[in-house]
Amino acid sequence: MSDKKQVGAVDEEHSRPAGLDDTTVEALGELSKALETIHRVRGHLYSAHQLVGGADLTLDRVVKLLRDAGHDEVADRVEHELLGRNVLPGRWTFQIVEEFDDGYYAAFQEIERDAREKLAGGRRHIYEAEMKERRRTHGLPGHEATP
């Protein structure tokens, strides 16, 4: 059944289903942690998308300033070779974000959710809830189990 002494959860929604062993709880916790990392990756992709888009829009001003200063050859190169350029073959950043969302990100979320459904009745953050119970100081303000 359980490899270690079980600790109660903060609430029923995060409690360990009967018979769920420590190794499985830990594995689901690690899978959740990995998914959280992928959520962060997705955020970084959106940051890159916005940063690249902003830089590309700034090139309009660069081209104008270069032309105003009489540097038409340099302005032409920026305008024709850099402005609106793909960041990867055939792709702007919005396409990269969409492909990530529809492929890897969607698959990761589905597999994590399916693992929780199959192994823990769909309950989330069991490992973290038990960690909270172990680490909090019971009875001390600011250490309540639930809101």
pLDDT, position 9: 64
1 pLDDT above the threshold of 90: no
Is the distance from CB of 31 to CB of 110 less than 8 angstroms? no
Is the distance from CB of 88 to CB of 96 less than 8 angstroms? yes
pLDDT, position 13: 87
Reading the block at residue 95, the tokens are: 């396409």
Does a structural domain hold residue 14?
A: no
Does a structural domain hold residue 4?
A: no
Element (H, E) at 132: helix 126-135
Does a structural domain hold residue 6?
A: no
Does a structural domain hold residue 7?
A: no
Does a structural domain hold residue 147?
A: no
pLDDT tens per residue across span 108-127: 999 999 999 999 999 999 99
CA separation for the pair 9, 23 (Å, rounded):
16
CA separation for the pair 128, 132 (Å, rounded):
6
96 pLDDT above the threshold of 60: yes
141 pLDDT above the threshold of 90: yes
Does a structural domain hold residue 65?
A: yes
What SS3 state is found at 11? Answer: coil
Reading the block at residue 20, the tokens are: 């769920």
Does a structural domain hold residue 90?
A: yes
Total structural domains in the chain?
A: 1
* Domain span at 71: 21-127
Is the distance from CB of 134 to CB of 7 less than 8 angstroms? yes
Does a structural domain hold residue 99?
A: yes
Helices marked H in 9-125 — which ranges? 22-68, 72-77, 93-100, 106-120
